[in-house]
């Protein structure tokens, strides 16, 4: 075996990559596993999107490499989506970059702005990819606390006390995964001011704003945001298109251009048909969001029942595709989820996957039918 690069020595395989192998093995042994672990939407994408994908296969050039910046119509559809849904004006020429899913954007942004030894502020709990990518680039993650008693928002007084001289990026993610917490207007103003004062790029990762969330917000709506912020967004959860891999990055020309310099050296564009389908999805009417959320609302009520059956508590005001539930005080997250898998064949995610502040919590996904969730309740 050739020795792996130093950068790999501090990075584990992604939790779900490992755990889903174990779950698949249990299934192959005949265990009737119910998967409430991962947030991969099981509902259909918009019909028109699938139709356009199919219909565009015979278009001239459909099989060719595509532009590194996506089709101009896709960038326009993204700018229109931001204008209609978030009341944010963006130039489709210079302030929008389509991505192959938003996850890859985390790497591209980090490669564009981080040098070895730079520091990055990362939420704890939070999406594990921010920390993993930071370590892959030999930069240093500085995990900042999010606590339930603070409504899962950062404490800026504590942040200002840190040595911020080498901090280049701060990741934020509201509506927040895994807790479902939302941010306030005051928070967005504060984080922008914090970024400006300390010369830190603020990146808001925003894939959950349309799931069980009454007021979708983009950080770009706030005064001064374009100077110091980027925002990632995604069609994965909003339009049930996780496997299509369509995301986007928005921000000012200079920041977007820096990311394009990385990205254009890494992939060779998004498949034409997927772009055509994505354009249709982005044009969906209000009805799409109403019907999507009516399904998730019913599922969430059932998941609440399941959580109660497992003696967990939860916040009814939380948003998003998951229920974040608190365990009785003496229980540990991983022991609890292992037990639930063993005794009930139900896979849920331990809160510790998202950082040390996730200890004592578990995450249930809403990506399973009512029937399946009812079966889980019956088992418990
Ligand atoms: C917080 C957060 N950001 C980003 C992503 C990546 O989404 P995608 O790459 O499908 O756009 C996920 C996926 O689960 C997520 O939970």
- pLDDT confidence of 294, banded at 50, 70, 90? very high
* Residue showing tokens 């009737």: 32
Q: Is 236 in the pocket of ligand 1 (CB under 6 A)?
A: yes
Q: If we measure between CA atoms, which residue out of 318, 315, 380 comes closest to residue 348?
A: 380
Six-digit token pair at 267? 């992939």
Q: Is 238 in the pocket of ligand 1 (CB under 6 A)?
A: no
Q: How confident is the model at residue 117 (pLDDT cuts 50, 70, 90)?
A: very high
**CATH number of the 6-44+286-379 domain:** 3.90.1150.10
Of 225, 215, 274, 272, the closest CA to residue 250 belongs to 225
Predicted pLDDT of residue 12: 79
Over residues 169-212, the pLDDT tens digits come to 999 999 999 999 999 999 999 999 999 999 999 999 999 999 99
Which atom number of ligand 1 is nearest to the Cα of residue 105?
Answer: 9
3-state secondary structure of 200: coil
Q: By percentage, how much of the chain surpasses pLDDT 90? A: 93
pLDDT of residue 153: 97
Residue 277 has pLDDT above 90, yes or no: yes
Q: Provide the pLDDT confidence category of residue 50 given band limits of 50, 70 and 90.
A: very high
pLDDT of the residue at 7: 87
Q: Is the CB of 206 under 6 A from ligand 1?
A: no
Establish whether residue 178 lines the binding site of ligand 1, counting it when its CB lies within 6 angstroms of any ligand atom. Answer: no
pTM of the predicted protein model: 0.96
Atom of ligand 1 nearest to the CA of 38: 14
Confirm whether 6-44+286-379 and 47-281 share one CATH topology: no
Radius of gyration of the chain (CA): 21
Pairing of strands 349-350, 361-365: antiparallel
Q: Quote the distance between the C-alpha of residue 80 and its chain's center.
A: 22
> Domain-by-domain residue ranges, the chain?
6-44+286-379, 47-281
- Testing ligand 1's pocket by substitution, the residue of 78, 100, 103, 109 carrying the most ligand atoms inside 8 A of its CB is 103
- The pLDDT tens digits for 332-373 are 999 999 999 999 999 999 999 999 999 999 999 999 999 999
- What confidence score (pLDDT) does residue 20 get? 85
Look at residue 138 in the predicted model and tell me its pLDDT.
94
Kindly give the number of the ligand 1 atom that is closest to the alpha carbon of 235.
Answer: 11
pLDDT in the model for residue 320: 96
Pick the closest to residue 143 from 168, 125, 157 (CA basis): 125
**Ligand 1 center from residue 83 Cα (angstroms):** 22
Q: Is the dihedral of CA 127, 130, 135, 137 positive or negative?
A: positive
Q: Please, are residues 319 and 182 in contact by the beta-carbon 8 Å criterion?
A: yes
What digits encode the pLDDT tens for the residues 13-24? 878 888 888 888
Question: Is the distance from the beta carbon of residue 125 to the nearest atom of ligand 1 less than 6 Å?
Answer: no
Q: How confident is residue 11, by pLDDT bands cut at 50, 70 and 90?
A: confident
Mean pLDDT (whole number) for 42-52: 98
Does 207 sit in the ligand 1 pocket, CB within 6 Å?
A: yes
Please tell me the distance between residue 2's alpha carbon and the centre of ligand 1 in angstroms. Answer: 32
Q: Distance, CA 1 to ligand 1 centroid (Å)?
A: 33
50 CB-contact burial (10 Å; exposed 0-12 / middle 13-18 / buried 19+): middle
Q: Spell out the alpha helix ranges (H) of 124-270.
A: 128-136, 156-161, 185-198, 225-228, 253-263
Could you tell me which of 2, 10, 41, 77 has the C-alpha nearest to residue 275? Answer: 77
Q: Is 179 in the pocket of ligand 1 (CB under 6 A)?
A: no
- Please give the Cα distance from 348 to 23 (Å, whole number): 11
% pLDDT > 70, the chain: 100
Asked if 37 and 379 touch (Cβ cutoff 8 Å), the reply is no
Ligand 1 mean position to 294 CA, how many Å?
A: 22
Element (H, E) at 278: helix 272-282
pLDDT tens per residue across span 208-222: 999 999 999 999 999
Report pLDDT for 195: 98
Ligand 1 atom with least separation from CA of 234: 11
> 86-109: per-residue pLDDT in tens?
999 999 999 999 999 999 999 999
Ligand 1 center to 13 CA (angstroms): 17
The predicted structure's pLDDT at residue 118: 98
At the topology level of CATH, where does 47-281 sit?
A: 3.40.640
pLDDT band at 10 (very low <50, low <70, confident <90, very high): confident
CA–CA gap between residue 20 and residue 16 (Å, rounded): 6
Q: What share of the chain is helix, strand, coil (3-state, %, to 5)?
A: 45, 15, 40
pLDDT at 287: 98
């Amino acid at each position: 075996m050739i020795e792996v690069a130093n950068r790999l020595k501090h990075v584990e395989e992604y939790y779900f990559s490992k755990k889903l192998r174990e779950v698949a093995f249990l299934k192959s042994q005949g265990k009737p596993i119910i998967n409430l672990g991962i947030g991969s939407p099981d509902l259909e994408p918009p019909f028109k999107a699938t139709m356009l994908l199919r219909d565009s296969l015979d278009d001239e050039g459909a099989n060719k490499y595509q532009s590194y910046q996506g089709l101009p119509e896709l960038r326009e559809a993204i700018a229109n989506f931001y204008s209609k849904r978030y009341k944010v004006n963006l130039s489709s020429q210079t302030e929008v970059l389509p991505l192959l899913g938003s996850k890859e954007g985390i790497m591209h942004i980090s490669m564009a702005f981080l040098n070895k030894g730079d520091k990055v502020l990362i939420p704890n709990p939070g999406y594990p990819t921010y920390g993993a990518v930071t370590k892959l680039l030999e930069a240093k993650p500085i995990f900042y606390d999010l606590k339930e008693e603070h409504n899962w928002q950062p404490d800026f007084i504590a942040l200002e006390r840190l040595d911020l001289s080498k901090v280049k990026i701060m990741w934020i993610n509201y509506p927040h995964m895994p807790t479902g917490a939302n941010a306030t207007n005051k928070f967005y103003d504060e984080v922008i001011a914090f970024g400006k004062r300390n010369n830190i790029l603020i990146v808001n990762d925003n894939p959950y704003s349309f799931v069980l969330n009454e007021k979708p917000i983009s950080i770009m709506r706030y005064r001064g945001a374009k100077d110091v912020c980027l925002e990632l967004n995604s069609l994965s959860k909003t339009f049930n298109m996780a496997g299509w891999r369509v995301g986007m990055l928005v921000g000012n020309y200079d920041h977007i251009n820096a990311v394009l310099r990385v990205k254009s050296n890494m992939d060779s564009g998004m498949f034409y048909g997927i772009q055509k389908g994505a354009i249709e999805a982005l044009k969906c009417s209000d009805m799409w969001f109403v019907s999507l959320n009516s399904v998730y609302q019913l599922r969430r009520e059932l998941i609440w029942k399941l959580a109660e059956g497992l003696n967990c508590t939860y916040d009814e005001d939380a948003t998003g595709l998951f229920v974040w539930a608190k365990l009785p005080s003496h229980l540990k997250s991983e022991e609890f989820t292992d037990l639930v898998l063993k005794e009930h064949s139900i896979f849920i995610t331990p809160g510790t996957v998202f950082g040390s502040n996730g200890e004592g919590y578990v995450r249930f996904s809403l990506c399973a039918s009512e029937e399946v969730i009812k079966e889980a309740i019956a088992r418990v």
